[in-house]
Amino acid sequence: MRKRTDLNIRRSLTLLTALGLAALSHAGEKPSLRAAWALPAQCDPFAAPRIQDLKDELRQTGYRLVIAIHPDKPPDSKGEYPPRDLYLINADGSGLRQLTDTPDQEERAPRVSPDGQWFTCNYGDFLADTRTFKMRSAEGAYVWAPDSRRTVSCEKGGVIYTDMATGQRSKPIPVQRRVDIVDMSADGQWFIFEIRNFLGSPYSIDFMPAAGGDIRKMPNHPIREGECHPAFSPDAKWICWNGGGSLALRRFTPSLPNGTEGEIVTLPKEKMGQDPCGRWSHCGRYIAYVRIPHRGSWKVHAPLGIVRVADGATLTLSPAGWVGHHWDYDWLPPVDGK
């Protein structure tokens, strides 16, 4: 019996020693920056940069983006550019690859589902798998619901949810007025949008309950220029929007009368350009945007950029003349992501 006990002790010590060596080995490794697409999302926009070089940091995250690009052709006699095709690009700017070649089919405004498994384009007309990129026609809308099964829009009769697998539409939820909702909070409780000439403001960022109810206006940016294109961070604790002649950020706190705690962070105007139309990464550290010069029209096709919120570092992903304005891009999980 004693020999068996000694043998068990030796085996236990051997196992503990092996585990200890493994722990020491892992302790010496650098933490992985690989992006996780966990739900619920947890965003930390102002977390300190992990690598000073933004391009290297983005490379290590494995993030990708799906973008809609016009063919390199001049506009027609009416000033219209040819329909956009979809492309895939790594967040560090490498690996540009064309996904579709459809000269007669518009595929603008790709929008990725909260779980990262799907994306729509052309405001819900098409649905694609983010792993295979197989795409089919759909009859959805631009904004995803948090369940990643339905899209949602505000139509003449009210708010309508559409099941993307079956095409079934819900009964309308009555609202005070029809608005163009552009995002829904992660808890499914709030819509955000912009209204022109509302409550004494020529431009305003506004929100309302998803169940219907009063529309509430957020305080204007102190620099009274155009304000538009609001977007929730994936955890809906922050919003970004075109404001102050740049990209502005603030907390979203619907329990407060104005929906926010008041403080606004405006990213460097000279880096962001006008009407940047930001789209948040899943972790909230980065925002993709389109860089349109301040001197000139927004009706141009400018390069895609990424800004790191914490320090304002930027990276240009594509040369000028490719990407259109108004959210012609969105983030995708890493290849081995969820």
pLDDT (tens digit per residue) in 266-291: 999 999 988 899 999 999 999 999 98
> Is CATH 3.40.50.1980 the right assignment for the domain spanning 39-332?
no
Is residue 245 classed as helix, strand or coil in its secondary structure?
coil
Higher pLDDT, 273 or 3: 273
Among 193, 117, 116, residue whose Cα is nearest residue 152 = 193
Q: Give the pLDDT of residue 98.
A: 93
Q: Give the pLDDT of residue 324.
A: 64
Band (325; pLDDT cuts 50, 70, 90): low
Long-range contacts of 166-171 (CB under 8 A, 24+ apart): 167/138, 167/139
What are the residue ranges spanned by the domains of the chain?
Answer: 39-332
Among 142, 157, 267, 244, residue whose Cα is nearest residue 193 = 142
- For the chain, the average pLDDT equals 88
Q: Give the pLDDT of residue 299.
A: 67
Q: Identify the helix (H) or strand (E) that includes residue 58.
A: helix 54-61
Q: Give the pLDDT of residue 322.
A: 67
Q: Give the pLDDT of residue 329.
A: 95
Which pTM does this prediction carry? 0.89
